[in-house]
Amino acid sequence: MSHNINTFEDLACYWFVVHGTTHKSASSLKRDHGILRKYLFPVFASRFLDSIKNYEVQEWFSALKQRSSLSPKSCNDVLGLFKKILKDGVYWGFIERSPAEYIKKLKISEKEYTCWSVEDAQLYLGYWQSKNITPRIAWIVYVALYTGMRRGELLSLKWESIDLNSDMLLVKSSYCRIKKQVKQETKSKKIRYIPLSKALKKILEQLRKITGASGFVCPFIHPDLYNKEFKKSSQQAGLKLIRFHDLRHTFASNFLMGGGNIYDLQKILGHSTIQMTERYLHLVPSHLKGKTEVLGF
């Protein structure tokens, strides 16, 4: 492989080949390619690596939020990719220092997650369980509400991964929408276990009669239609509209409000760090009530 790396574009293309394709998913690579094409290459593509100054990067980043419609988080994502590529360039010896090393990310306010309350979830479950015919999306929503699984994980979930005797569900694969195939790994690349509640076990016993022969737990719906079908079924049940992915937030918030432990929630959701799980804490400040009583002064 040629190592004629002089400009930022040279380094970025090299980074995609030796790092991106090895360590990143197809969806992440697609996002990174979009960031480079739209926000980084127009400014830095033809610049020689050793000619980029710290103050130029700071001025560019300061203007990014003002000149674009990007949110603070998206601005940070752009900077994060820029810093990662340059940092790896230093590690590989293509550049002596990174001009973005000390650029600070924007502060992000506490995010308000949209989710259903316990009453909302009960209303949805009760509405469709009372009907003679249950739409395919409703079965998928049932599983999502009781497990907090991602859409790709639900799409690839097989009956062989469910043990009704030990009351455990094994999450070990995920459907990739970009490559249109099942990957034998999760987003975090770790296998995880989700305990089956009594309510979910009853639902799975019913669902096995419907999908058992296919090998897959959830009825198939094209992944691009999940939000559309979910919206339709929610409207019929008389509920406020949320995205399908918000069912994951619904599981997390109600797990904590029900007395669940944040470290258990981290394992169930498959978060790589506890900081990712702590994003849900502001939804349930009441969980802290009485915790200082352990001081015993």
How long is the chain?
Answer: 297
Q: E strands within the chain?
A: 162-163, 168-171, 174-176, 181-183, 192-195
Cα-trace Rg, the chain: 23
As given in the structure block, the two tokens for residue 115 are 């989710």
Please return the burial class of 4, using the count of CB atoms within 10 Å of its CB with bins 0-12, 13-18 and 19+: exposed
Q: Choosing from 83, 151, 248, 249, which is the catalytic residue?
A: 248
Q: Choosing from 83, 151, 192, 271, which is the catalytic residue?
A: 271
How far, CA to CA in Å, does 72 sit from each of 107, 121, 245, 272?
7, 32, 21, 23
| Residue type present at position 91 | Y
Q: Choosing from 142, 146, 150, 226, which is the catalytic residue?
A: 150
Q: Is 33 a catalytic residue?
A: no
Reduced to 3 states, what is the DSSP secondary structure of residue 100?
coil
Find, among 293, 139, 289, the residue nearest to 216 by Cα. 139
Task: Give 39's DSSP letter.
Answer: I
Q: Is 287 a catalytic residue?
A: no
Strands 168-171 and 174-176: unpaired
Q: Choosing from 245, 267, 279, 287, which is the catalytic residue?
A: 245
Dihedral class, residue 215 (left if φ above 0, else alpha if ψ from -120 to 50, else beta) = left
The partner residues of 48 in beta bridges, in order of sequence, read 7
Residue in the block written with tokens 């998206």? 74
Q: Is 172 a catalytic residue?
A: no
Residue in the block written with tokens 């309510």? 199
Q: Is 150 a catalytic residue?
A: yes
Please return the burial class of 239, using the count of CB atoms within 10 Å of its CB with bins 0-12, 13-18 and 19+: middle
Q: Is 271 a catalytic residue?
A: yes
Q: How far apart, in whole angstroms, are the C-alpha atoms of residue 246 and residue 234?
A: 13
Q: Choosing from 105, 187, 208, 267, which is the catalytic residue?
A: 187
As annotated, the active-site residues are: 150, 187, 245, 248, 271, 280
